């Protein structure tokens, strides 16, 4: 079980942060294009999910999976989107993504007066704490499974 990578977007589609841990295959397009592709897909799938839902929507889009990986999604009321790709053995991790938002992003970026919001996060402290947190997760193993 492992974590492949993590994206953090704000409400305008700016990619605030990207980290990867185990990624065997790259997309082959420049990173900027990849972020736009990811954001565009999330935007479309969110509105699709809410329109086509046969029942009243509770949490909205949560995750999708393919035969090789699972993409987990968490969005805050302010439009901050946390996207984590893991392998298939991982169950719902909404609380993990919420922790990344509240204990890492809010604490170390929003509350840091020297971090301008709406841009890629420069804070080294955020980067290193996020890295240690993901590595400490029970479903993260050092060898890609």
Partner 1 sequence: MSLSVLEGMGFRVGQALGERLPQETLAFREELDILKFLCKDLWVAVFQKQMDSLRTNHQGTYVLQDNSFPLLIRMAAGLQYLEEAPKFLAFTCGLLRGALSTLGIKSLVTASVASLPTCKFQVVIQKT
What is the contact surface with partner 1 in residues (CB under 8 A)? 107-108, 111-114, 122-125, 128
- Which residue's CB is nearer to partner 1, number 114 or number 142? 114
Strands 15-20 and 81-86: unpaired
Q: How far is the CB of 106 from partner 1 (least distance, A)?
A: 10
Residue 121, class by beta-carbon neighbours within 10 Å (0-12 exposed, 13-18 middle, 19+ buried)? Answer: buried
Q: How far is the CB of 115 from partner 1 (least distance, A)?
A: 8
> How far apart (Å, rounded) are the C-alpha atoms in residues 114 and 117?
9
Q: How far is the CB of 109 from partner 1 (least distance, A)?
A: 9
Q: How far is the CB of 125 from partner 1 (least distance, A)?
A: 5
- Which residue's CB is nearer to partner 1, number 125 or number 137? 125
- Which residue's CB is nearer to partner 1, number 66 or number 132? 132
Question: In degrees rounded to 5, what are phi and psi of residue 69?
Answer: -150, 165
């Amino acid at each position: 079980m492992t974590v492949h990578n993590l994206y953090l977007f704000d409400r305008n589609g700016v990619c605030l942060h990207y980290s990867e841990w185990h990624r065997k295959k790259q997309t082959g397009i420049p990173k900027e294009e990849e972020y736009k592709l990811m954001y565009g897909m999330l935007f479309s799938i969110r509105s699709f999910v809410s329109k086509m839902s046969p029942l009243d929507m509770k949490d909205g889009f949560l995750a999708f999976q393919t035969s090789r990986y699972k993409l987990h999604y968490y969005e805050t009321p302010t439009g901050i989107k946390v996207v984590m790709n893991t392998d298939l053995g991982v169950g719902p991790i909404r609380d993990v993504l919420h922790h990344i938002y509240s204990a890492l992003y809010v604490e170390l970026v929003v509350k840091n007066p020297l971090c301008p919001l709406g841009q890629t996060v420069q804070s080294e402290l955020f980067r290193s704490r996020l890295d240690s947190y993901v590595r400490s997760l029970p479903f993260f193993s050092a060898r890609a499974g």
